[in-house]
């Protein structure tokens, strides 16, 4: 029986387990990446393992999230990251050099390799034919130390593409169509593999837009074959030596197949506040727009900027619209300068923001009150833009640019067709923004610099035998990590300071949660389906843990968050009968006996208001041991 591309890469990296969907496997990891908002924790965790140098083929520390530096905190973090990278054999991408995922596929990604990154959009690298997976910081720390990365073997979903996109329809519309069909839960436990003749019509940056936003499907990863188009791209990056062809066997078997005819797609938009609330742009046409933002790891390539510039050229944005662009990397920015595109934007009235995540994570450029913001980004969760009552729509660069000019949501296919951008023969390569690590000899003397914002990682303690605690919070389906541990310019600077950041835990939903949790000495949280979707931030587990949460009960969990809870020593339990969710109320006191024995068995009884509610733990044996030890670091230290 033939193999899918994902299975081939998994087979070549398998160190433990059997690749049967749902069973835990361990993979050898070739490359890691971190960004600054999750990286400080990941490196503190790595340092605590006492290993002198990373054991991966390539590890890179990017600074792209926390770059406002409105106090000493971000700058402290940057110094720490630069020094820890230099000492331990990690490449350091300076602030301003670009967004991790964009820079990684430009300069480091290699077809057929495995990559894990402490950022949920790490699967962007799948556009180059790598198996790239988002993970919590602790898992990345373990991989840097040479340990395997463990995950449940995903099922492989095929998305077969036929036809070719019509002018002014974009790669973004492809992934929005997949989201429309599969929803934010549709990819949970799966790798999305793109096949079919349509693949050949998409450039590497377009493929990366699609794999990037596979994270919003809840997918473990997304992957395209590595072919002549990949080869051309790597050659233009002066990395032809990294090319190898990779594809699925012709008789590969997939768990399901979704067919998309690219020729039939129309411009799409995801409506507030979820990436799967997708409708045709034409249905929204005429709605007044206050703000337009072009950038983020989804749509900030030279190709994206070229498309937006082609729409804007010679025009001026509407008086009431504020347009901001954040090119994905310095390479993109310098190519834009060389090709005159930057002037197209400036002349049209755009604001030029830094080559960072910026507005995507609420680091500046927040919309006005009640504002309508069109963004080429990947997430439009409530409050993420920094303005709680803003309405954020996710669209393609073509739709964004067209709407900036007219001042109302505009279907770009109603405008004259723009030319498909050509891949440059050679990109402008200048790696001055990337600092290589010190040699092993030099590293021995090197010191790691820690400012006062870097607080030690709080210690965990072994799992209790039994708990009688209040239900501190009950939330609905699809709660995101942006609800649990919000980001934005006020909170992100505390990513290296768990006690401080915990004060903001769940603040979008209930500002009293941290105080109540501390006052009652802990408790449990009850959630609906897909609890913890979205980002990889382990702070969404570390903060609740710091506040005394030992158990989260939900109808189902998102993959990375479930792993982060276990790593932080919090037990994720699932209702055996989802209807029992209705029985458990916020404020109730509940009891769980024999926690340690129940963990062995995998089933638990929750006593709530005179009733016994059966729960289960969907955990691998290794994860049970981690929980018994009180968390991954405690578990690793004990070995
Ligand atoms: C995001 O897009 O939500 C982030 C910010 O990049 C996160 C990581 C983080 O919270 O630091 C992610 O996607 O994992
Ligand atoms: Fe940065 Fe936004 Fe991409 Fe997250 S989704 S890595 S915040 S650009």
The per-residue pLDDT for range 129-144, each reduced to its tens digit, is 999 999 999 999 999 9
Q: Please indicate whether residue 471, judged by its CB atom, sits closer than 6 Å to ligand 2.
A: no
Q: Please indicate whether residue 273, judged by its CB atom, sits closer than 6 Å to ligand 1.
A: no
Is pLDDT larger for residue 634 or for residue 285?
285
The residue to mutate among 36, 37, 119, having the most atoms of ligand 1 within 8 angstroms of its beta carbon, is 119
Catalytic residue among 329, 535, 556, 598: 535
To the query of whether residue 379 is one of the catalytic residues in this protein, the response is yes
Rounded to 5°, angle at Cα 471 from 519 and 274:
110
Q: Helix, strand, coil: what percent of the chain each, to 5?
A: 35, 20, 45
To the query of whether residue 65 is one of the catalytic residues in this protein, the response is yes
Q: How far is the CA of 363 from the centre of ligand 2 (A)?
A: 11
Whether 492 shows a pLDDT value over 90: the answer reads yes
Whether the CB-CB separation of 23 and 152 falls below 8 Å is answered with yes
**Structure letter (DSSP) for residue 530:** T
Q: Please indicate whether residue 296, judged by its CB atom, sits closer than 6 Å to ligand 2.
A: yes
- Give the H or E element holding residue 93: strand 91-93
Whether 458 shows a pLDDT value over 80: the answer reads no
The phi, psi pair for 587, rounded to 5°, reads: 100, -20
Q: What is the pLDDT of residues 44-90, one digit of tens each?
A: 999 988 999 999 999 999 999 999 999 999 999 999 999 999 999 99
Position 112 scores a pLDDT of 99
Q: Which residues of 354-374 are buried (b: 16+ CB within 10 A; e: fewer)?
A: bbbbbbbbbbbbbbeeebbbb
Residues 498 and 496: their CA atoms lie apart, in Å, by 6
The phi, psi pair for 550, rounded to 5°, reads: -115, -20
- Give the H or E element holding residue 9: helix 5-13
Rounded to 5°, angle at Cα 80 from 77 and 84:
140
Catalytic residue among 180, 537, 545, 550: 537
Q: How far is the CA of 535 from the centre of ligand 1 (A)?
A: 5
Whether 636 shows a pLDDT value over 90: the answer reads no
Q: Please indicate whether residue 384, judged by its CB atom, sits closer than 6 Å to ligand 2.
A: no
The pLDDT-based confidence of 534 (bands split at 50, 70, 90) is very high
The pLDDT-based confidence of 93 (bands split at 50, 70, 90) is very high
Q: How far is the CA of 6 from the centre of ligand 2 (A)?
A: 24
Strands 589-592 and 467-474: antiparallel
- Residue 160: strand, helix, or coil: strand
Q: Which of 153, 218, 202, 210 is nearest to 561 (CA)?
A: 218
Position 345 scores a pLDDT of 98
The pLDDT-based confidence of 368 (bands split at 50, 70, 90) is very high
Strands 14-16 and 24-27: antiparallel
Report the mean per-residue pLDDT for the chain: 97
Closest approach atom of ligand 2 to CA 215 = 5
Whether 358 shows a pLDDT value over 80: the answer reads yes
Position 485 scores a pLDDT of 97
Tokens representing 621 are: 């044996």
| Residues present in the chain in total | 639
To the query of whether residue 611 is one of the catalytic residues in this protein, the response is no
Q: How far is the CA of 170 from the centre of ligand 2 (A)?
A: 20
Tokens representing 517 are: 């949790």
- State mean pLDDT over 472-491: 96
Q: What percent of the chain lies above the pLDDT cut of 70?
A: 100
- State mean pLDDT over 615-619: 97
Q: Which of 630, 555, 554, 564 is nearest to 595 (CA)?
A: 630
Number of H helices, E strands in the chain: 22, 27
Q: Which residues of 320-342 are buried (b: 16+ CB within 10 A; e: fewer)?
A: ebbbbbbbbbbbbbbbbeebebb
Whether 583 shows a pLDDT value over 90: the answer reads yes
- Give the H or E element holding residue 100: helix 100-107
- Give the H or E element holding residue 131: strand 131-134
Q: Please indicate whether residue 37, judged by its CB atom, sits closer than 6 Å to ligand 1.
A: yes
Residue with tokens 């708990």: 467
Nearest ligand for residue 99 CA: 2
Position 5 scores a pLDDT of 99
Position 455 scores a pLDDT of 86
To the query of whether residue 344 is one of the catalytic residues in this protein, the response is no
Q: Please indicate whether residue 361, judged by its CB atom, sits closer than 6 Å to ligand 2.
A: yes
Whether 8 shows a pLDDT value over 90: the answer reads yes
Catalytic residue among 30, 64, 77, 290: 64
Position 462 scores a pLDDT of 87
Nearest ligand for residue 295 CA: 2
User: Starting at the edge strand that comes first in sequence, how are the strands of the sheet with 155-162 ordered?
Assistant: 221-223, 190-195, 155-162, 256-261
Position 115 scores a pLDDT of 99
- State mean pLDDT over 576-605: 97
Is pLDDT larger for residue 311 or for residue 633?
311
Whether the CB-CB separation of 528 and 555 falls below 8 Å is answered with yes
Whether 34 shows a pLDDT value over 90: the answer reads yes
Position 545 scores a pLDDT of 96
Position 549 scores a pLDDT of 97
Calculate the CA 188 to chain-centre distance: 14
Name 329's bridge partners: 98
Residue with tokens 């964004």: 400
Q: Please indicate whether residue 357, judged by its CB atom, sits closer than 6 Å to ligand 2.
A: yes
Residue with tokens 């990779």: 246
Residue with tokens 């770059």: 67
Residue with tokens 């080559």: 355
Position 460 scores a pLDDT of 77
Q: Which of 551, 616, 617, 611 is nearest to 583 (CA)?
A: 611
Residues 411 and 529: their CA atoms lie apart, in Å, by 34
- State mean pLDDT over 191-195: 99
| Other beta carbons less than 10 A from residue 197's beta carbon | 12
Position 504 scores a pLDDT of 98
To the query of whether residue 450 is one of the catalytic residues in this protein, the response is no
Residues 475 and 203: their CA atoms lie apart, in Å, by 41
Q: How far is the CA of 400 from the centre of ligand 2 (A)?
A: 18
Whether 246 shows a pLDDT value over 80: the answer reads yes
Q: Please indicate whether residue 375, judged by its CB atom, sits closer than 6 Å to ligand 2.
A: no
Whether the CB-CB separation of 501 and 495 falls below 8 Å is answered with yes
Position 103 scores a pLDDT of 99
Position 398 scores a pLDDT of 99
Q: What is the pLDDT of residues 19-30, one digit of tens each?
A: 999 999 999 999
Distances in Å between the Cα of 26 and the Cα atoms of 15, 21, 123, 342, 365 are 5, 13, 18, 45, 41
> Around 470, how many Cα atoms within 13 Å sit in the side-chain half-sphere?
12
């Amino acid at each position: 029986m033939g193999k899918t591309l994902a299975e081939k890469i998994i087979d070549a990296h398998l160190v433990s387990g059997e690749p049967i969907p749902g069973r835990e496997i361990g993979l050898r990891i070739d490359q890691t990446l971190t960004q600054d908002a999750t990286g400080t924790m990941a490196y503190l965790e790595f340092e605590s393992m006492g290993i002198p140098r990373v054991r991966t083929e390539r590890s890179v520390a990017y600074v792209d999230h926390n770059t406002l530096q409105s106090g000493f905190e971000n700058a402290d973090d940057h110094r720490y990251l630069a020094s820890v990278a230099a000492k331990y054999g990690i490449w350091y991408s300076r602030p301003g050099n670009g967004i991790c995922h964009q820079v990684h596929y430009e300069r480091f990604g290699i077809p057929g390799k495995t990559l894990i990154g402490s950022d949920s959009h790490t699967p962007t690298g799948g556009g180059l034919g790598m198996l790239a997976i988002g993970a919590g910081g602790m898992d990345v720390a373990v991989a840097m130390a040479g340990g395997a990365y463990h995950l449940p073997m995903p099922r492989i979903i095929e998305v077969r593409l036929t036809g070719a996109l019509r002018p002014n329809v974009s790669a973004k519309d492809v992934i929005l169509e997949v989201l429309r069909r599969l929803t934010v839960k549709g990819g949970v436990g799966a790798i999305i593999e793109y096949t079919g003749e349509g693949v050949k019509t998409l450039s590497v940056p377009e493929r990366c837009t699609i794999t990037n936003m596979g994270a919003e499907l809840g997918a473990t990863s997304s992957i395209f074959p590595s072919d002549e188009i990949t080869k051309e791209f790597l050659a233009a990056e002066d990395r032809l030596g990294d090319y190898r062809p990779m594809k699925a066997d012709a008789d590969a078997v997939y768990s399901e197949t979704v067919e998309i005819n690219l020729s039939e797609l129309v411009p799409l938009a995801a409506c507030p506040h979820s990436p799967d609330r997708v409708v045709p742009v034409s249905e929204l046409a005429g709605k007044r727009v206050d703000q337009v933002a072009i950038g983020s790891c989804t749509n900030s390539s030279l190709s994206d900027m070229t498309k937006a510039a082609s729409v804007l050229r010679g025009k001026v944005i509407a008086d009431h619209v504020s347009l901001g662009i954040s090119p994905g990397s310095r390479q993109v920015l310098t190519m834009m300068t060389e090709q005159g595109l930057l002037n197209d934007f400036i002349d049209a009235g755009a604001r030029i923001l830094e080559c960072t995540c910026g507005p995507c994570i609420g680091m500046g450029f927040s919309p006005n009150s009640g504002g309508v913001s069109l963004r080429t980004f990947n997430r439009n969760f409530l409050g993420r833009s920094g303005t709680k009552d803003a309405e954020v729509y996710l669209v393609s660069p073509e739709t964004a640019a067209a709407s900036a000019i007219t001042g109302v949501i505009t279907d770009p296919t109603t405008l004259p067709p723009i030319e498909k951008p050509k891949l440059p023969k050679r990109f402008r390569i200048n790696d001055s923004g990337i600092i290589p690590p010190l040699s092993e000899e030099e590293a021995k003397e090197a010191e790691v610099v820690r400012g006062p914002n870097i607080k030690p990682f709080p210690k965990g303690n072994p799992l209790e035998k039994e708990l009688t605690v209040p239900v501190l919070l009950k939330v609905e389906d699809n709660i995101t990590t942006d609800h649990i541990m919000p980001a934005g310019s006020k909170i992100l600077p505390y990513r290296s300071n768990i006690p401080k950041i915990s004060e903001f835990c769940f603040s979008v939903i209930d500002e009293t949660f941290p105080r109540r949790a501390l006052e009652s000495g802990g408790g449990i949280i009850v959630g609906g389906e897909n609890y913890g979707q979205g980002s990889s931030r382990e702070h969404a587990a570390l903060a609740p843990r710091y506040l005394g949460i030992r158990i989260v009960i939900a109808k189902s969990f998102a993959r990375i968050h479930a792993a982060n809870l276990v790593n932080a020593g919090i037990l994720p339990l699932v209702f055996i009968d989802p209807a029992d969710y209705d029985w458990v109320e916020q404020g109730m006191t509940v009891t769980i006996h024999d926690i340690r024995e129940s963990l062995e068995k995998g089933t638990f009884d929750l006593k709530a208001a005179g009733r016994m509610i059966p729960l289960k733990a969907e955990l691998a044996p290794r994860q049970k041991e981690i929980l018994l030890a009180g968390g991954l670091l405690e578990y690793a230290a004990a070995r």
